[in-house]
């Protein structure tokens, strides 16, 4: 058996040893994953943090890839290739390893921005635009490392990109204007993901995402509209979540002229207070009040001021308030009059009867 082994061609012997080395390193990486990394994963699952889970996931993706590239790097030295060929293969392995690590890191950065972007809305809002920018930065750093490893000077390349970038900017003027408008919307914080806004065009809904070209708004009927970032940045916008989510809820009511206005005010405020404390979406600490403002054709009109926790809560607050106030007015004998119009009639040729 030994003699038969020694009679194998040299290239077959090297091929067998090369495959064996690559396979051994890959199995060793699997051993690390099943022991060290697995224990790290169990430890990370018991912590309240989320970033450590992402780091463990990155290790699980990186270690097998790097073990293969390390095996190829070791094996190349056994084949007694020419210096030029060896250098070329080493550079290819270096480039592939850098690109693999860069893509894994870019994915981890994107997940971290989605995970913690909501906790740092003022500094780093969580949108698809910021996620893409974070990935671009990581990819740019990795690309410069690759170019440096290949012996390519970065400075002339940046100069050429600056000259060519001017031509690209002119060709992609609309796209870039939407991109920078999206950056402005994201960093200014006037429109944030999750806010309920109304545009001057009449469209309103929840902002679900700010992308590199358009902003996605989900309307209450569960339809989604796409507004170009440039148009949104130039539009007049009402943000119902700024400066905070609570908002006043007004209800217009009229009572008969014979009503006791002091009693009407007391009863209406009691019903409003009950609604604030028992209806989901009301603000329990808010004290409702009314303001008389108009002598109408058939009623004394006034406005009831309530308060809701956010924009969509006003509908349930109004619903319950109107229903309960109607029942209470019936028990208290307070009349909400029908519209009344006085009509004077006369016979042809006779003066009007005003009696």
Domain boundaries, the chain: 2-151, 176-239, 247-332
**Which pLDDT belongs to residue 54?**
76
Backbone φ and ψ of 166, nearest 5°: -65, -45
Mapping DSSP to helix (H, G, I), strand (E, B) and coil, where does residue 189 land? coil
CA gap 283, 249 in Å, rounded = 11
Q: Which among 134, 158, 165, 132 has a CA at the least distance from the CA of 144?
A: 158
**Which pLDDT belongs to residue 99?**
84
Which residues, given as ranges, of the chain have pLDDT below 70? Answer: 1-13, 51, 114-126, 154-173, 340-355
**Which pLDDT belongs to residue 173?**
67
**Which pLDDT belongs to residue 286?**
95
Angle (CA) 191 193 195, round 5°: 65
CA gap 184, 169 in Å, rounded = 18
Widest Cα–Cα separation across the chain? 140
CA gap 92, 114 in Å, rounded = 33
- Is residue 58 within 8 A of residue 66, CB to CB? The reply is no
pLDDT tens, position by position, 300-355: 999 999 999 999 999 999 999 999 999 999 999 999 988 766 666 666 655 555 54
User: Is the fold of 176-239 the same as that of 247-332?
Assistant: no
> Quick one: tokens of 57?
């996931």
**Which pLDDT belongs to residue 90?**
81
- Domain 247-332 belongs in CATH node 3.40.50.150: no
> What DSSP string describes 297-339?
SSSEEEEEEEEESSTTHHHHHHHHHHHHHHHHHHHHT---PPP
Backbone φ and ψ of 224, nearest 5°: -115, 130
- Domain 176-239 belongs in CATH node 2.30.30.60: yes
> Quick one: tokens of 258?
């014979």
What pTM, to 2 d.p., does this model score?
A: 0.62
Q: Which among 239, 304, 232, 245 has a CA at the least distance from the CA of 275?
A: 304
CA gap 72, 114 in Å, rounded = 36
- Is residue 206 within 8 A of residue 196, CB to CB? The reply is yes
Mapping DSSP to helix (H, G, I), strand (E, B) and coil, where does residue 248 land? strand
Number of H helices, E strands in the chain: 11, 8
- Is residue 59 within 8 A of residue 43, CB to CB? The reply is no
């Amino acid at each position: 058996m030994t003699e038969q082994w020694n009679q194998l061609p040299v290239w077959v012997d090297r091929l067998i040893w090369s495959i064996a080395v690559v396979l051994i390193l890959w199995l060793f990486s699997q051993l690390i994953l099943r022991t060290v990394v697995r224990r790290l994963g169990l430890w990370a699952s018991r912590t309240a943090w989320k970033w450590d889970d992402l780091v463990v996931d990155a290790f699980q993706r990186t270690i097998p890839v790097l073990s293969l590239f390390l095996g190829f790097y070791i094996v190349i030295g056994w084949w007694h290739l020419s210096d030029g060929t060896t250098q070329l293969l080493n550079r290819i392995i270096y480039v592939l390893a850098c690109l693999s690590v860069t893509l894994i890191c870019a994915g981890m950065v994107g997940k971290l921005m989605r995970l913690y972007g909501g906790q740092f809305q003022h500094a780093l809002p969580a949108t698809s635009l910021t996620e893409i920018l974070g990935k671009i930065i990581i990819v740019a750093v990795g690309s410069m490392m690759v170019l440096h490893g290949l012996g390519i000077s970065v400075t002339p390349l940046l100069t050429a990109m600056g000259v060519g970038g001017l031509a690209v900017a002119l060709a992609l003027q609309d796209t870039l204007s939407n991109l920078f408008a999206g950056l402005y919307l994201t960093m200014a914080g006037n429109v944030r993901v999750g806010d309920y806004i109304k545009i001057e065009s009449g469209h309103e809904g929840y902002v679900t995402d700010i992308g590199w070209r358009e902003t996605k708004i989900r309307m209450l009927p569960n339809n989604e509209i796409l507004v170009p970032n440039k148009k949104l940045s130039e539009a007049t916008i009402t943000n119902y979540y700024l400066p905070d989510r609570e908002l006043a809820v007004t209800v217009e009511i009229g009572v008969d002229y014979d009503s006791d206005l002091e009693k009407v005010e007391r009863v209406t405020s009691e019903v409003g207070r009950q609604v604030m404390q028992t209806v989901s979406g009301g603000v329990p600490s808010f004290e409702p009040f009314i303001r008389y403002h108009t002598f109408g054709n058939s009623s004394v009109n006034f406005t009831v001021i309530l308060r809701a926790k956010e924009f969509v809560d006003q509908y349930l607050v109004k619903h319950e308030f109107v229903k309960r106030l109607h029942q209470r007015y019936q028990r208290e004998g307070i009349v909400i009059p029908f519209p009344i119009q006085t009509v004077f009639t006369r016979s042809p040729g006779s003066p009007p009867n005003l009696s």
